[in-house]
Structure 1
């Protein structure tokens, strides 16, 4: 049972997920500017992960942007209804009002653009009303080249999002996930850029490859972000591909929240699903998977 009957074929056709069309257009433009379109149209290398340097960033953008984008898109769309209540709550957050997003690590923007691109397409197709929506994003990543691509992709999206009633503002910051003072400064900026917002959402996507095997390095930063939400109406969403590293990371996170924040955050079971998605530049249909862990939003105790 889906929430949209029918789901627009521009995003879901014969059981195959499509990247939102205008995201594909912007992605193609960016690849052309980098001279990477032909690479993106070919076969993807295996075991590719992002990195700090420009080469690693551009490789990841070329061959992994689409997979990361459809993962958050699928979570919000939830065509088979297996990811509720997380999927329904995310869609509600991004339907109207004012939402402050902490996007960490932001990479080149596929996670947030999966959400925003889907919302815009659903509005275009009449599946969602065009209620005023203001999204303020504080984005952190250690890679300067990733932040530059993030800025470029969001700048391309801003006009068509505005046309659908979605006003988006963002700032990117250098963020070292293993350094608690860097995290404290990032959260300070997040709150100062979104005073009196109704919703605060932390989006952490595709971080398991690094975080699962170096959890102790990042644990203090994870603790810091969570503790700063003590008096906010906040939600923390972890979205990962269904892999061993993801299972390891989410298990460690669950144990951390149970031991440190049992009174602040509700602990929900992990949800998972598999799907097929259409490559944007060739006929191939690819396999995708996700596992999501949400630490439930808090009542505003202020």
Structure 2
């Protein structure tokens, strides 16, 4: 924030309904006004202090137990999800909550905003030496990804396939996407690309975690997405196919300390876990 002269902007109140965009101006505003909330939602999904998201927090624990992990963040924006996960792992190891087993993380981030890609790269480079103190080694590539382009998505899938081929576990993070998919009416055009990404992300231990703010339109969208998942991925669902839709996602909230201003803010999230196994489920 300070390096990019955004502290003054961050102290202002964001306009209602602001979602961000591709331009540098929109990216800077999103970083100043929405980044903290995005980070807080990811932290809440990992730490689950109120024990409302055990299915999700258990997935993080299994995936990041050690060895070689692949992490993909789509769209990555300026890196709220990736950075929050890595910083949480660092702190938990530093304070002996998690053992310091060697952990190698290969990261592919897909993002269309050139400015957001630069901000993410800077953060990952700055984090690298601190992570290595806790036996966490990362390698990363930040690629251009257009959600609505089949060619761009095929190129992304190729990068994911190559980068994840030696991993023992995979995590695909989707976050803060409903503003684009729902409010801009892009869901139908984006679905074929998600079909391809999800199908090619299947593995022995592979999980999707989708994190969004706690809004009515998010719940309505998740219900639509669940119906799509039931149709497109029914052989992978097993007994989950007959479960009530409301059991597919969870909600939680908590007060978080403001990192720049005094005081606290309430963070609310809606989150869905969806496993992507190799084997057809019975």
Q: Which residue of 1 aligns with 2:219?
A: 247
Q: Secondary structure at the match of 2:104?
A: strand
Q: Secondary structure at the match of 1:263?
A: helix
How far apart are 1:46 and its partner, in Å? 2.5
Report the Cα distance in structure 2 between the residues aligned to 1:218 and 1:47, rounded to whole angstroms: 22
Which residue of 191, 202, 206 maps to 2:172? Answer: 202
Q: Secondary structure at the match of 2:141?
A: strand
Q: TM-score, normalised by structure 1?
A: 0.85
Deviation by residue 1:206-248 (Cα, 9 ceiling, x = unmatched):
1111112321011011111112134553111110011123113
Q: 1:238 to 1:176 in 2, by over 3 A?
A: same
> Is the 8 Å Cα contact of residues 97 and 133 (structure 1) preserved in structure 2?
yes
Q: Which residue of 2 aligns with 1:272?
A: 251
Which residue of 102, 106, 109 maps to 2:79? Answer: 109
How far apart are 1:184 and its partner, in Å? 1.4
Gaps of 5+ in 1: 1-30
Q: Secondary structure at the match of 2:122?
A: helix
> Is the 8 Å Cα contact of residues 98 and 134 (structure 1) preserved in structure 2?
yes
Report the Cα distance in structure 1 between the residues aligned to 2:147 and 2:132, rounded to whole angstroms: 32
Q: Which residue of 2 aligns with 1:28?
A: none
How many pairs were matched up? 271
Report the Cα distance in structure 1 between the residues aligned to 2:147 and 2:278, rounded to whole angstroms: 27
How far apart are 1:102 and its partner, in Å? 1.5
Q: Which residue of 2 aligns with 1:9?
A: none
Report the Cα distance in structure 2 between the residues aligned to 1:61 and 1:176, rounded to whole angstroms: 20
Whether 1:43 and 2:13 are equivalent positions in the alignment is yes
How far apart are 1:176 and its partner, in Å? 0.4
Report the Cα distance in structure 1 between the residues aligned to 2:211 and 2:166, rounded to whole angstroms: 27
Q: TM-score, normalised by structure 2?
A: 0.91
Q: Write out the 4+ residue segments of structure 1 that deviate beyond 6 Å after TM superposition.
A: none
RMSD: 1.6
Whether 1:143 and 2:113 are equivalent positions in the alignment is yes
Report the Cα distance in structure 2 between the residues aligned to 1:198 and 1:57, rounded to whole angstroms: 34
For 1:155-174, what aligned pairs fall within 5 Å after superposition?
A: 155-174=125-144
How far apart are 1:43 and its partner, in Å? 3.0
Deviation by residue 1:63-112 (Cα, 9 ceiling, x = unmatched):
11111011111101001111012112212312312111111000000011
Gaps of 5+ in 2: 241-246
Deviation by residue 1:10-63 (Cα, 9 ceiling, x = unmatched):
xxxxxxxxxxxxxxxxxxxxx111111122234333222120100000110011
> Is the 8 Å Cα contact of residues 173 and 209 (structure 2) preserved in structure 1?
yes
Q: 1:79 to 1:173 in 2, by over 3 A?
A: same
Q: Secondary structure at the match of 2:110?
A: strand
Report the Cα distance in structure 1 between the residues aligned to 2:204 and 2:26, rounded to whole angstroms: 36
Whether 1:281 and 2:260 are equivalent positions in the alignment is yes
> Is the 8 Å Cα contact of residues 72 and 173 (structure 2) preserved in structure 1?
yes
Deviation by residue 1:116-165 (Cα, 9 ceiling, x = unmatched):
11111111111111111111111111111111111111111111111111
Q: 1:271 to 1:220 in 2, by over 3 A?
A: same
Deviation by residue 1:248-289 (Cα, 9 ceiling, x = unmatched):
321121111101111124646111111111110121211111
Whether 1:292 and 2:271 are equivalent positions in the alignment is yes
